[in-house]
């Protein structure tokens, strides 16, 4: 049985009377690709923001490799091994591709900065674009640059928020191959609305609905789950 690398117990976050995350228990196994899905407003982004330390929980506990990180801010969780790439690209547009990745690698204390940057860019196929100004890249390449920045942090857990949003079909295929190449050395947790991508890539899927876990299982189990079908997977009511 795979070891649990990241775990949440009773995680909760409310905004006024809205319970965005409502007592969620969650376990991420080391070396897996785990997808987090659910309708808009289900609490997905709030949940991963809690895991990464971008916001603080009202209740609950988060552990990374058995260590309690609940009280740690985001930058310290990065040092512990949690990297979170955002739904909207968060690059430095006026810096070169190399410098963007170098900033991430430097934050982890890389001794051979050029080597660390080269490895990260190589993993996403962007070695030839190192000198280009990041803001002049295509949208697809900007998403890959963001991923390279995440990889330069050498994370134990890489959280991807809508990574295929805005990508062309061919870019999505390349992205899938790239994500597969990351495991088992890196564990991937991704929020993704493209169900074809989810079913193709994920080893396990967690479904959130109204801030709670509706279901968890393999792609086949999730596809066959009546509660998930009713809430999310393309029934007439859900599509309305």
- pLDDT of 236 higher than 50: no
pLDDT at 140: 84
pLDDT at 233: 60
Q: What is the mean pLDDT of residues 208-220?
A: 93
Q: What is the mean pLDDT of residues 203-211?
A: 93
- Band of pLDDT at residue 234, cut at 50, 70 and 90: low
Q: What is the mean pLDDT of residues 147-173?
A: 88
- pLDDT of 44 higher than 70: yes
Q: Name beta bridge partners: 22.
A: 12
- Band of pLDDT at residue 29, cut at 50, 70 and 90: very high
Q: Which of 4, 71, 47 is nearest to 190 (CA)?
A: 47
- Band of pLDDT at residue 240, cut at 50, 70 and 90: very low
Query: What's the whole-number average pLDDT of the chain?
Result: 88
**40 in a domain, yes or no?**
yes
What are φ and ψ of residue 29, in 5° steps? -80, 140
pLDDT-above-90 percentage for the chain: 57
- Segment 163-192, tens digit of pLDDT: 888 788 888 888 898 899 888 889 999 998
- Band of pLDDT at residue 228, cut at 50, 70 and 90: confident
- Give the domain CATH number at 230: 3.40.50.300
Are 29 and 187 in contact by the 8 Å Cβ rule? The answer is yes
Contacts of 115 (CB under 8 A, 6+ apart): none
**131 in a domain, yes or no?**
no
**126 in a domain, yes or no?**
no
**138 in a domain, yes or no?**
no
**41 in a domain, yes or no?**
yes
- Band of pLDDT at residue 157, cut at 50, 70 and 90: very high
**17 in a domain, yes or no?**
yes
187's enclosing H/E stretch is: strand 187-191
**Which has the higher per-residue pLDDT, 165 or 55?**
55
How many domains is the chain partitioned into structurally?
1
pLDDT at 48: 93
pLDDT at 235: 46
- pLDDT of 43 higher than 70: yes
236's enclosing H/E stretch is: helix 236-239
Domain region containing 161: 4-81+155-239
- pLDDT of 217 higher than 70: yes
What are φ and ψ of residue 206, in 5° steps? -115, 130
Predicted TM-score of the model (pTM): 0.88
**10 in a domain, yes or no?**
yes
**127 in a domain, yes or no?**
no
- Band of pLDDT at residue 86, cut at 50, 70 and 90: low
Q: How far apart are the first and last CA of the chain?
A: 41
């Amino acid at each position: 049985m795979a070891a649990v690398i990241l775990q949440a117990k009773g995680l909760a976050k409310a905004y006024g009377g809205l319970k965005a995350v409502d007592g969620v228990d969650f376990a991420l196994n080391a070396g897996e690709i785990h997808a987090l899905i659910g309708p808009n407003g289900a609490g997905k982004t709030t949940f991963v923001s809690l895991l990464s330390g971008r916001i603080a929980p009202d209740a609950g506990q988060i552990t990374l490799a058995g260590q309690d990180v609940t009280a740690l801010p985001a930058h310290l969780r990065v040092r512990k091994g949690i990297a979170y790439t955002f739904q909207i690209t968060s690059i430095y547009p006026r810096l070169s591709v190399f410098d963007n990745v170098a900033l991430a690698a430097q934050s982890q204390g890389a001794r051979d900065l050029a080597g660390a940057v080269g490895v990260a860019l190589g993993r996403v196929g962007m070695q030839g674009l190192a000198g280009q100004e990041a803001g002049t890249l295509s949208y697809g390449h900007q998403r890959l640059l963001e991923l390279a920045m995440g990889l330069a942090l050498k994370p134990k857990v890489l959280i991807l928020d809508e990574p295929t949003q805005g990508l062309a079909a061919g870019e999505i295929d390349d992205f899938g191959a790239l994500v597969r190449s990351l495991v088992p050395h890196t564990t991937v947790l991704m929020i993704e609305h493209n169900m074809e991508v989810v079913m193709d890539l994920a080893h396990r899927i967690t479904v959130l609905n109204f801030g709670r876990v509706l279901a968890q299982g393999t792609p086949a189990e999730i596809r066959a789950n009546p509660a998930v079908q009713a809430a999310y997977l393309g029934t007439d009511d859900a599509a309305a």
